[in-house]
């Protein structure tokens, strides 16, 4: 595994995602995944053409937007996720959608950042990159254009792969005291619930929200050894829980 190269590509991808340049973000995330998982060929059979060939300019192109302000701390040390319930700076990420968590996660540039076990650390890193890649398809699927259903299905598949990798790494179904892993776990449940809701799979969506609720209730600020980080995780937990309350299956209209 070429760890530093994967970190660089992923974090460049997060910057491009924040800027609204989805095509460039896709290129960086795809290269980052290649560095962590070796040859992309086995995975490529399951990924859309935009991932298999990162030189393509179609399918994932979006106009560039930049948020105002600068100097924001990295998401890995001071995670500031955005969703519909509340925004840390009171501003919507230009490419975010209500109820979907549309912000990528930076990688920490240390080879034992998530576990002293190299295999577990690599697995968690791969999960983060795949989650970031999933966001591209999720956001593009919400545009309501041609191939939206395919992109939402692909986003769901990638989210599930990221979630399964965390399970393979031994990440429990409750808070771990690692703020990045816990944020990732909550964001995965939230986005799986949202993407299945958009696919009108309402029962499945509710199951993901139920899993989110069970996990989020174990997230408490004093787990993280830092008051600032703990308060951010607690705030975002509240945001995700509010999503779970608000996003309900539509009720059938009563017969006239």
Strands (E), 49-112: none
Query: In this model, does residue 238 exceed pLDDT 80?
Result: yes
pLDDT beyond 90 at 92: no
Span between the terminal Cα atoms of the chain, in Å: 63
Quote the mean pLDDT of the chain. 78
Residue with the larger pLDDT of the pair 91 and 121: 121
pLDDT confidence tier of residue 2, bands split at 50, 70 and 90: confident
Q: Alpha helix (H) ranges present in 40-95?
A: 41-44, 49-52
Tell me the pLDDT tens digit for each residue of 39-65.
Answer: 334 444 444 444 444 333 323 333 333
Is pLDDT above 80 for 95?
no
pLDDT at 97: 65
Classify residue 217 by its DSSP letter. T
- Res 190 pLDDT > 70: yes
Q: Note the pLDDT of residue 98.
A: 77
Mean pLDDT, range 166-181, rounded to an integer: 91
Q: Measure Cα distances from 145 to 11, 24, 142, 157, 187 in Å.
A: 28, 20, 8, 20, 25
Q: Above pLDDT 90, what percent of the chain?
A: 57
pTM metric for this prediction: 0.77
pLDDT at 1: 65
Q: List, as own/partner pairs, every contact residues 206-213 make where C-beta atoms lie below 8 angstroms and the sequence separation is at least 24, other chains included.
A: 206/249, 209/243, 209/244, 209/247, 211/173, 212/186, 212/240, 212/241, 212/244, 213/241, 213/244
């Amino acid at each position: 595994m070429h760890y530093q190269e994967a970190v660089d590509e992923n974090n460049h991808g997060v910057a491009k995602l924040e800027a609204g340049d989805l095509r460039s973000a896709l290129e960086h995330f795809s290269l980052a995944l290649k560095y962590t998982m070796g040859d992309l060929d086995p995975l490529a059979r399951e990924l859309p053409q935009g991932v298999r060939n990162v030189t393509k300019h179609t399918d994932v192109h979006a106009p560039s937007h930049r948020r105002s302000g600068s100097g924001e701390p990295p998401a890995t040390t001071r995670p500031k996720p955005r969703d519909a319930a509340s925004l840390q700076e009171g501003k919507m990420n230009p490419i975010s959608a209500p109820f979907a968590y549309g912000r990528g996660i930076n990688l920490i540039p240390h080879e034992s950042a998530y576990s002293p076990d190299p295999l577990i650390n690599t697995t968690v890193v791969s999960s983060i990159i795949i989650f970031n890649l999933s966001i591209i398809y999720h956001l593009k699927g919400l545009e309501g254009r041609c191939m939206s259903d395919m992109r939402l299905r692909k986003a769901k598949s990638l989210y599930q792969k990221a979630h399964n990798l965390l399970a393979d790494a031994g990440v429990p179904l409750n808070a771990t005291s690692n703020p990045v892993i816990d944020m990732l776990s909550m964001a995965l449940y939230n986005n799986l619930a949202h993407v299945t809701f958009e696919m009108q799979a309402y029962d499945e969506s509710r199951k993901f929200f139920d899993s989110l609720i069970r996990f989020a209730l174990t997230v408490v600020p004093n787990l993280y050894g830092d008051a600032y980080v703990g308060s951010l995780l607690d705030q975002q937990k509240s945001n995700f829980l509010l999503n779970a309350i608000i996003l309900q299956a539509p009720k059938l209209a009563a017969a006239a």
